[in-house]
A = this chain, B = another copy of it.
Amino acid sequence: MIEGKTIIRSDDLRAENRHRVLLTLRTEGPLSRARVGKITGLSQASLSTLLSAMTEEGIVTSKNSQLPSSARRGRPQTIVALDPLAAVAVTVALTADMLHTCLIDYAGKVIHKQNLSIETRALSESTLCNTVNKEITKALGKFQGTPCCAIAFGFEGVTDSVAGDLLWSPILTTSNIPIALSLEKKFKVPVTVQNDCRLIAKALHHSRYDELGDSFAAILFSHGIGMGMYLHGEPFSGAHSSALELGHIPFELDGALCRCGKNGCIEAYASDYGILRALNGSPALTEPALRIQQEQIKSMLNDGKKLSKQAQQVFTTAGRAIGHGMATIYTLFDPIPVALIGRSDTINDLMMDDIRATLQSSVRGTDKLDKLIHCFDDDGGLMQQGLALEATASIDRQYAYRRDLNAVKTC
């Protein structure tokens, strides 16, 4: 599931350089061989060998630049690019009561999409695996001729992303499901399992690099509160794989009841269920609601007009909780750009001032705060994009590191 990146042998070096070329083409798009050399740092000589081999293998396409002779003089460039037909992959996103399945090509483009309504909390382990199985098979049936090379699975919850286990999810009633193992057995291709926050961070790192840069945090506001992070261009996930639980940083000793069973977590104040509970005037120790529609919260806000003092207080507390979390992040990881995903209306209108005030009162060097906080809304597109990146990255690894260049699996 994870490639041991120990480069010792000459072969490893070749594989690594193949990988470098593929990643460059993926992020930069079609390029001339010369530019690939500039970007990767590889010599033209090596690229000559590498690229002809990969063209031979059908991984990249190579065509003469069609610039209509407007161009500068000199030998015209040949443009190389990832061949979309080199592979297909399947992405599966499990969200509350919905299973989204996509078929994508090697360039990452969605070529088929299908959604299935299911009652997630009623699923047993085997039913879940079987349903996913069936959906993938169905999707693969829509496009034949190219081998399927990867499956990427995403959901809200806790993973063991090394083993590919789904450890716990708020939208399920079962836990510890070895979903990767099950799918790998069936489809004989690498399966990656990631939670929504890591996928969203991955998508942002790819599509919002200009704003967020190499190191940033993505805080996800939905039923719970999640976080993903990149540090120095690499996804960060702690010592094991279940860290970065921003929502469960202790905020108040013996405070409000959290979904996790503990008291006083940030999530208990700033999540959908925490906010709704407080807006309803329910005691802070009331068992968290299982499922909330965004509309339930919106309807309590009188369309943004003249909030009651009590409601204002709810959002002030939520803002302080988030501010406390961000202050803690800034203290432990250094001040980095933060993307706040989802609920951007209430965040901007009702919480931002308290977030800022809390941050500024507890962290030094947060003067340029405005440049650090970015708000985005998301309709699930980021997770889908993250899954596509995950799947294509898996294929890149396979194509870069494979030793037996003739054996291409078909499923």
Interface residues in chain A, defined as those with a beta carbon under 8 Å from any beta carbon in chain B: 6-8, 10, 13, 16-17, 20, 40-42, 215, 231-232, 238-240, 242-246, 248-250, 253-254, 260-265, 320, 324, 327-329, 331-336, 358, 361-364
Contact = CB atoms under 8 A, between A and B. Distances in A.
Contact of A264 (B42, B239, B249, B362): B362
Nearest to A264: B362
This chain: how many copies in the complex? 2
A28 to B, nearest CB: 17
A31 to B, nearest CB: 17
| Most chain B Cβ neighbours within 10 Å, of A245, A246, A329, A332 | A332
B243 A232 contact: no
B331 A249 contact: yes
Contacts of A329: 332
Nearest to A364: B260
Given A8-B41, A320-B253, A246 B332 contact: yes
Nearest to A266: B331
* The 7 nearest A-B residue pairs measured at CB: A215-B239, A250-B362, A239-B334, A243-B334, A238-B334, A240-B334, A238-B333
Contacts of A261: 364
B8 A262 contact: no
A148 to B, nearest CB: 32
A243 B333 contact: yes
| Most chain B Cβ neighbours within 10 Å, of A40, A249, A329, A358 | A249
A289 B89 CA distance: 63
A261 B360 CA distance: 12
B334 A332 contact: no
B336 A250 contact: no
A324 B232 CA distance: 28
Contacts of A364: 248, 260-262
A245 B8 contact: no
A354 B7 CA distance: 47
Contacts of A10: 10, 13
